[in-house]
């Protein structure tokens, strides 16, 4: 069934699923990983897409919350569910962190455009800031599935402290190299993740950069990519209310033409770095 948003005129495709929590693992003091079995076997999702998640039978938090698809769960070679990586920042994520195995959640998606992966790039950098690593795990696997050798992919992962550097095992098991930085120096080089990224671009320019993280980091990555003329895609995490183009809550300003806005939920969340005005 398709509805049309009265505000934007966009088609709103209804893709609500009842999801069963397969596991809820605490992976750091503020982060947890949810395994959800929710879709018809064989459903399609691409890296960079997200889902809107809501607790069932609760009036509060009223709105769904967006989360990137971190991994797909396969049964007999067919995708049957997905894995989310979540950080507690407010009431919605705090409530979600408490859900037990077997609980049902309402999940809308997969939504958004996802990363554009051609398979033609020979050298690729992924840049993850904190919880922004979530969509890059599935992206790493997608790149390898497209025939890119793991040794030609490097993940630059930054966080405030050691405990913010998540999913290292996922990338290591794919054979992807990791460059770590922390603000407090507790793991990897002390400082911003864009410092080793800049050195890498200057010494061995990659064909493509993909990034997800806080907006300050994305702005710095976008500036580097423009300055050194490296193609770059950014996954933007704005606040979202509906996820389907109906509420106008996720506007992002684009550089050309001036004063024009796009919706992160339906035009993104992945944008070319050149497009966005930070």
Ligand X SMILES: Cc1cc2nc3c(=O)[nH]c(=O)nc-3n(C[C@H](O)[C@H](O)[C@H](O)COP(=O)(O)OP(=O)(O)OC[C@H]3O[C@@H](n4cnc5c(N)ncnc54)[C@H](O)[C@@H]3O)c2cc1C
The full length of the chain comes to 278
Nearer CB in complex with ligand FES: 107/127: 107
Minimum gap (Å) between residue 162 Cβ and ligand FES = 33
Q: Cα(215)–Cα(221) distance, rounded to whole angstroms?
A: 10
Minimum gap (Å) between residue 245 Cβ and ligand FES = 5
Interacting partner of 92 out of ligand FES, ligand X, none (Cβ under 5 to 8 A depending on kind): ligand X
Minimum gap (Å) between residue 34 Cβ and ligand X = 10
Minimum gap (Å) between residue 45 Cβ and ligand FES = 19
123 touches ligand X (CB under 6 A) = no
67 touches ligand X (CB under 6 A) = yes
Interface with ligand X in residues 86-115 (CB under 6 A)? 86-87, 89-93
- For residue 109, give every residue at least 6 positions away whose Cβ sits within 8 Å of its Cβ, in sequence order, or none: 15, 17, 45, 49, 50, 51, 52, 69, 243
CB contact at 8 A, 66 and 29 = no
Minimum gap (Å) between residue 151 Cβ and ligand FES = 38
Helix (H) or strand (E) holding 116: none
242 touches ligand FES (CB under 6 A) = yes
Q: Cα(15)–Cα(50) distance, rounded to whole angstroms?
A: 12
Whether the ω angle into residue 2 lies within 30 degrees of 0, i.e. cis, is: no
Query: For the residues of 121-178, what is the DSSP string, one character each?
Result: -SSEEEEEEGGGGHHHHHHHHHHHHTT--GGGEEEEEEESSGGG---HHHHHHHT-EE
Whether the ω angle into residue 99 lies within 30 degrees of 0, i.e. cis, is: no
Candidates 25-33, 187-195, 210-218, 248-256; binding stretch for ligand FES (CB under 6 A): 248-256
Candidates 42-50, 158-166, 183-191, 241-249; binding stretch for ligand FES (CB under 6 A): 241-249
265 touches ligand FES (CB under 6 A) = yes
Alpha carbons within 13 angstroms on the beta-carbon side of residue 246 total 13
CB contact at 8 A, 66 and 48 = no
If we measure between CA atoms, which residue out of 260, 267, 263, 269 comes closest to residue 277? 260
How many residues in the shown chain lie near ligand X by CB under 6 A? 22
Provide the 3-class DSSP secondary structure of residue 273. helix
Interacting partner of 263 out of ligand X, ligand FES, none (Cβ under 5 to 8 A depending on kind): ligand FES
Minimum gap (Å) between residue 131 Cβ and ligand FES = 19
Nearer CB in complex with ligand X: 96/230: 96
48 touches ligand X (CB under 6 A) = no
Nearer CB in complex with ligand X: 28/103: 28
* Contacting positions for ligand X (CB under 6 A): 50, 61, 65-68, 85-87, 89-93, 131, 134, 237-240, 264, 269
Which residues sit at the interface with ligand FES, rule CB under 6 A?
240-243, 245-250, 263, 265
């Amino acid at each position: 069934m398709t509805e049309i948003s009265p505000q934007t005129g966009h088609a709103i495709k209804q893709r609500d699923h009842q999801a069963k929590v397969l596991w809820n693992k605490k992976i750091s003091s503020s982060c947890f990983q949810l395994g959800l079995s929710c879709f018809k076997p064989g459903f399609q999702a691409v890296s960079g897409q997200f889902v809107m998640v809501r607790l069932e039978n609760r009036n509060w938090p009223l709105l769904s919350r967006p989360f990137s698809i971190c991994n797909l769960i396969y049964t007999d070679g067919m995708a049957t569910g997905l894995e989310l990586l979540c950080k507690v920042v407010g009431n919605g994520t705090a409530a979600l962190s408490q859900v037990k195995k077997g609980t049902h959640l309402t999940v809308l998606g997969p939504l958004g455009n996802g990363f554009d992966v051609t398979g033609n790039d020979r050298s690729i950098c992924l840049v993850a800031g904190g919880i922004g690593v979530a969509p890059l795990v599935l992206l790493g696997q997608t790149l390898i599935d497209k025939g890119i050798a793991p040794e030609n992919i490097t993940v630059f992962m930054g966080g405030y402290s050691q405990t913010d550097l998540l999913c290292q095992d996922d990338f290591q098991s794919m054979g992807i190299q990791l460059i770590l930085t922390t603000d407090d120096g507790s793991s990897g080089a002390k400082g911003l993740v864009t410092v080793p990224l800049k050195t890498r671009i200057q010494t061995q320019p990659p064909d493509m950069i993909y990034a997800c993280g806080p907006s300050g980091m994305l702005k710095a990555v976008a500036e580097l990519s423009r300055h050194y003329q490296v193609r770059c895609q950014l996954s933007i995490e704005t606040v979202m209310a509906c996820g389907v183009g109906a509420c106008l809550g996720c506007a992002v300003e684009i550089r050309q033409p001036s004063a024009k806005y796009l919706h992160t939920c339906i035009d993104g969340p992945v944008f070319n770095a050149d497009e966005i005005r930070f």
